[in-house]
């Protein structure tokens, strides 16, 4: 593999406990990997939770003769998920070696979304359709409507990832209160309304 002078990371997280094989299957698909390569990504890191064995069975064989090979890594969980998210932000690793702005794809759990919002990276939240009554779709839809992320759906990720979303400026988080909005407090109000204290 030829030496690189830059890195560009995509980080995918499905959370710690619930299975989300559909998302892992999609981000390991030939079409998705080709899209990442076409956008000059160098790394794909997948936090697989309980689906690590599935990741191992679906992971494509490395192709060391390809100078633009996408390096793919998977793991179950790590105490420092934020450290992986930070890899998707732009910066210089050395004066001549840079890391370009990348992409976070997360399940639409509120905790993962809140962590990902701390980083200046493109952000896609994908509700897990196999979970019932967990409000992921409502949370992702509201955050998308406020412009803080893009709501993704299984089967559509290749179509929505493009240079425009990778370079679009990140909207301020937390937002200033908007008294005209149904949810003036943003995600906090959505979470409070959907998951009231017991």
pLDDT of residue 56 exceeding 90, the answer is yes
Q: Could you tell me the domains of the chain?
A: 6-169 (3.40.50.2000)
Task: Give the model's pLDDT for residue 95.
Answer: 82
pLDDT of residue 132 exceeding 90, the answer is no
User: 0.85 cut: is pTM over it?
Assistant: yes
**Cα dihedral value 51, 53, 54, 60, nearest 10:** 130
> Residues 151-188: pLDDT tens digits?
999 999 999 999 999 999 888 777 766 666 665 555 56
Q: Which of 17-21, 46-50, 65-69 has the lowest mean pLDDT?
A: 65-69
Say which DSSP state 50 is in. Answer: G
The torsion region of residue 129 among left (phi > 0), alpha (psi -120 to 50) and beta comes to alpha
């Amino acid at each position: 593999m030829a030496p690189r002078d830059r890195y560009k990371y995509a980080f995918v997280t499905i959370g710690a406990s619930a299975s989300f094989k559909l998302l892992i299957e999609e981000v390991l698909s030939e079409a998705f990997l080709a899209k990442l390569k076409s956008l000059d990504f160098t790394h794909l890191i997948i936090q697989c939770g309980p689906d690590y064995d599935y990741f191992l069975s679906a992971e494509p064989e490395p192709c060391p003769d390809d100078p633009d090979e996408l390096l793919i890594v998977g793991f179950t969980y790590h105490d420092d998920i934020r450290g992986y998210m930070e890899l998707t932000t732009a910066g210089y690793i050395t004066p001549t070696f840079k890391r370009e702005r990348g992409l976070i794809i997360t399940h639409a759990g509120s905790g993962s979304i809140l962590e990902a919002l701390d980083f200046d990276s493109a952000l896609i939240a994908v509700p897990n359709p196999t979970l019932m009554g967990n409000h992921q779709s409502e949370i992702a839809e509201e955050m998308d409507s406020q412009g803080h992320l893009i709501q993704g759906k299984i089967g559509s990720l290749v179509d929505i990832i493009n240079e425009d979303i990778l370079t679009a400026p990140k909207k301020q988080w937390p937002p200033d209160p908007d008294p005209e909005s149904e949810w003036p407090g943003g995600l906090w109000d959505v979470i409070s309304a959907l998951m009231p204290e017991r």
